[in-house]
Amino acid sequence: MSDNLEHVKCLIIGSGPAGYTAAIYAARANMSPVLYQGTQPGGQLTTTNEVENFPGYPEGITGPEMMVELRKQAERFETDVRDGWITKIDFSGDVHRVWVNEEKEILCDTVIISTGASAKYLNLPSEQKYLQLGGGVSACAVCDGFFYRNQEVVIVGAGDSACEEAHYLSKLCKKVTMLVRRDEFRASKIMEARVKNTANIEILFNTETEEVLGDGSVVTGVKVKNNVTGETQVIPATGFFVAIGHKPNTDIFKDFLELDSVGYIKNVPGTSKTNIPGVFVSGDAADKVYRQAVTAAGTGCMAALDAERYLAAKEAFIEA
C-alpha cells in the first residue's frame, strides 16, 4: 500500500475528552486506533484555565494539562496520535474513506467522530484577549461559575441557554447583569419568567457590548451601549459570560450523516450509532444539552464499545 493510502481498523476524528477516551477504550480492545487531533488539539478544554468538576482531580487541573494527561494515557495503550485534520470523507461504501490534509487517503473499518462544537463569541478584541488570558471570559457558566461566587458578573444572550445559565449564575453570584440585544427574549416564556423573577438578575434590553474592560490580567467591567438611545455605561464585573450558542464542527459530514437543524449529528438514542453503519459519534458533536467534559468522556467510551461490537459482529458474519 502506498504512503498516500492506509487501512485502519478504527479512526478517531478529533481529540478532547471524547476522542481520547474513545482511543483508550479502542486501544485496550486491540483495535489499533489512529487519532487525528484536528485544528484544535485537545478541543475546547484547552481554553479553560481551571477544571475542578472532573472526577479524580481533587485539587483541580488546567484544561491544557488535563488534555496532555489524557493523550499520554491513550498513547500508553499504543494509540497512534497524529497531527492533521480530515478535509474530505466518503461514507458511501462498506469501508469508509477519509482524506487527511487533502492528501493522504485512509480506508477505515470504523470511524468515531469527536469533532466537538465551538462556542460562539462576540469576537471583540478585548473579549478575545481576556478569553486567551483565562482572566474572566467564559462560554460555560456550569464550568466556570464557581470561580465567581459572591461576585458580580455579566452574561450576554437572549435564548433558553442564556436564561438557564443566568439563573445558574444567580445562585452563586451577588449580581448577574443580563445583556439582551433586542427589546425581547428569544427564550421560551417559562425561561423568560424565571430570570425576570430572580431578584439578583438585572436585565438590560436593547443593549450591546462595546468592550470588555480589565487591568491587563483579569476582567474588571464591561462597557455597554443602548442601541436605541446611544447611551453608554460601564458595568462593574469580574466575569463576562457569552451564551449566544454553539456551532457543532460537523459541516464535513452533512452529505452522509443525519444532522439536526443546527448541525448536531443525530445518534440512535442510548447509543453512539449514526445512520451509517460503522460510523459513531461522541462528545459535543452530538450533545447540545450537557456539553461537559465528563459526559463527553462517557460517550467516547460508548463509541469505542459500539465500534468494537460492530467489528465483532461483522467478523462473526464473515466467518459464518
State phi, psi for 98 to the nearest 5 degrees. Answer: -135, 155
pLDDT at 314: 86
**Is the Cβ–Cβ distance between 178 and 204 less than 8 Å?**
yes
pLDDT at 291: 85
**Is the Cβ–Cβ distance between 99 and 88 less than 8 Å?**
yes
State phi, psi for 23 to the nearest 5 degrees. Answer: -65, -45
Q: Give the CATH fold of the 5-118+246-319 domain.
A: FAD/NAD(P)-binding domain (3.50.50)
| The three-state (H, E, C) secondary structure of 11-39, written as one string | EEECCHHHHHHHHHHHHHCCCCCEEECCC
Q: Are both 5-118+246-319 and 121-242 of the same fold? A: yes
Packed helices 16-28 and 63-76: angle between N→C axes, nearest 10 degrees: 20
pLDDT at 39: 74
Domain boundaries, the chain: 5-118+246-319, 121-242
Q: For residues 90 and 71, what is the distance between their CA atoms, to the nearest angstrom? A: 28
Is the domain defined by 121-242 classed in CATH 3.40.1280.10? no
Catalytic residue positions?
140, 143-144
- pLDDT per residue rounded down to tens, the chain (320 residues): 557 899 999 999 999 999 999 999 999 999 999 999 987 776 777 766 678 889 999 998 988 899 999 999 999 999 999 999 899 999 998 899 999 998 899 999 999 999 999 889 999 999 999 999 988 999 989 889 999 999 999 999 999 889 989 999 999 999 999 999 999 999 899 999 999 999 999 999 999 999 999 999 999 999 999 999 999 999 999 999 999 988 999 999 999 999 999 999 999 999 999 999 999 999 999 998 888 899 999 999 999 999 999 999 988 777 66
Residue with cell 457569552: 242
Q: For residues 296 and 143, what is the distance between their CA atoms, to the nearest angstrom? A: 14
